[in-house]
Structure 1
Amino acid sequence: MQKMKRIDANSRRSRAVVVGNMVYLGGQVGDSKQADIKVQTRETLAKIDQLLEEAGSSRSKVVSATIWLKSMDDYDGMNEIWDAWIDADNPPARACGEVRLADERYLVEIIATAMV
């Protein structure tokens, strides 16, 4: 049986779970709820970097990402930050869509899965 490591867990959720050689991140959002899409995307990706490091991984090992945007009008701004963040030699599989997020001030939420 494989062991699981839960990162930043509480009674409702874990921010990340490591199983075997994979790490599964829950949805991450930025802290600046009043900021524009670029700031929120940077903050979100910084949180992902932190969780990946804690799990023993890195952005070059991200295999899949799901990006939820409050509005597809923010697609280009988000992609500007995303494109600078990803390892261009190892781009993950990715999906992006428009959804209603948990707080109307959030503009982006990102879920990622990576190898450890």
Structure 2
Amino acid sequence: MSIKFYESGNRLAEATIVNGLIFLAGQVPTNEDADITAQTANVLAQIDTILEACGSDKQHICEAVIYLSNMQEYEGMNQAWDSWVTPGRAPARACIQAALANSNWKVEIKLTAVQKEIL
């Protein structure tokens, strides 16, 4: 069994792939001054890009964990999430409040997906 590393650096890889499973590192917004809905949409766009590069897409996500710096912004995050997720293909999901590494980040999303050719 081999492990493939996508955009791997000294500290982390953006994704690792083993036996058709794709494990994404926590993705954070690049638009730090935006509101929660825009930050979430930004993170989801990054996820789309990584999944495509790894041979998958949002319809093949198995599990997502969403970290919010403030649970009061749950509905704003869900606005972006609900417009992004494919109806009928929403993955198992958890959402928790956490102290994120950068105080300007409102959201971080980590997920596991499967490569399309595995199915």
TM-score range, shorter chain: over 0.9
The TM-score, its normalising length taken from structure 2, stands at: 0.95
Q: Aligned ranges for residues 71-86 of structure 1 at < 5 Å?
A: 71-86=70-85
How many residues align? The count is: 115
Question: Aligned to 1:18, what secondary structure does the other structure show?
Answer: strand
Partner residue in 2 for 1:91: 90
Q: CA deviation at 1:30?
A: 1.0
Question: Aligned to 1:75, what secondary structure does the other structure show?
Answer: helix
Q: List, as ranges, runs of 4+ consecutive aligned residues in structure 1 with deviation greater than 6 Å.
A: none
Q: What runs of 5+ residues in structure 1 fail to find an aligned partner? A: none
Q: What runs of 5+ residues in structure 2 fail to find an aligned partner? A: none
Partner residue in 2 for 1:64: 63
Q: Which amino acid aligns with 2:66?
A: I
Q: CA deviation at 1:88?
A: 1.5
Aligned partners of 1:87, 1:3: CA distance in 2, in Å? 31
Question: Aligned to 2:26, what secondary structure does the other structure show?
Answer: coil
CA deviation profile, 1:61-113 (whole Å, cap 9, x unmatched): 00000000000111000001101111122110000011000000000000010
Aligned partners of 1:114, 1:66: CA distance in 2, in Å? 12
Q: Aligned ranges for residues 1-116 of structure 1 at < 5 Å?
A: 2-116=1-115
Question: Aligned to 1:8, what secondary structure does the other structure show?
Answer: strand
Taking only the aligned residue pairs, the percentage that are identical comes to 38
Two-structure CA RMSD over aligned residues (Å): 0.6
Aligned partners of 2:68, 2:58: CA distance in 1, in Å? 20
Aligned partners of 1:94, 1:68: CA distance in 2, in Å? 11
